A = this chain, B = another copy of it.
Amino acid sequence: MRTLFHHPLCPFSRLVRVVLAEKRLEFALQAEKFWEARPEFVALNPASETPVLVEDNGLVLCDGLAIAEYLNEIHRDPALLPTDPAPRAEARRLVGWFNYKFHVEVTDQLLGQKVFRRLGCHRAEPDSRRMRAAFAAIHDHLDYIGWLTERRAWLAGPTFSLADIAAGVQISCLDFIGDVPWDDHPAAKDWYARIKSRPSFRPLLADHLPGLPAPRHYADLDF
């Protein structure tokens, strides 16, 4: 069967899990401590990063966005990017925003220090200035989500898209460690409640890591 090498708190692994579920594709999950650079895993992905998807025919796919684009091209229903080039570009702009800007400014700082460093993944020393900057930046990002969803049904336009998935998975990882200031951002919270209630997102809410319990609201649809 199609196998996804993933880590439960890797946002890009979560991106692919949600895309696969939206497309109603079956897959087996294999958890990978990517930082250990297991030789068989490095042979699949020389970056030694999750996610890696191995298709039934043996095709090996790496990089969350590359995998998502591939799945969206091969399995067209439901479409996770608009058909017309201009709205597609808008969706991809927001995918880039959350995959890169949000990840670098927020997720990688907070999750990197609080989770991956603790698990043994090599990281730079904790830097209190960078952590403070991340806690400040998350407010700007949640404000922007609120601003967008006051103007559009979903982040990139009238339909649910890869932009919502890209944003939702980054935020879901931070929510797992209780770092999302929901009380200050009701519009973003409303949007995330809709994301959480999608069947494709439910499996993420059941994730658990030994020794790192998620806060009670994490899996609660009415949080």
Contact = CB atoms under 8 A, between A and B. Distances in A.
Interface stretch (A65-73, A180-188, A191-199, A202-210): A65-73
A67 B47 contact: no
Interface stretch (A1-9, A28-36, A97-105, A113-121): A97-105
Interface stretch (A16-24, A88-96, A214-222): A88-96
Name the interface size band of chain A.
Answer: 35 or more
- A64, A93, A133, A144 — most chain B CB neighbours (10 Å): A93
B92 A63 contact: yes
Contact of A129 (B90, B93, B124, B129): B124
Interface of A: 46-47, 49, 59, 61-67, 69-70, 73-74, 85-86, 88-90, 92-93, 95-97, 99-101, 104, 124-125, 127, 129-130, 133, 144
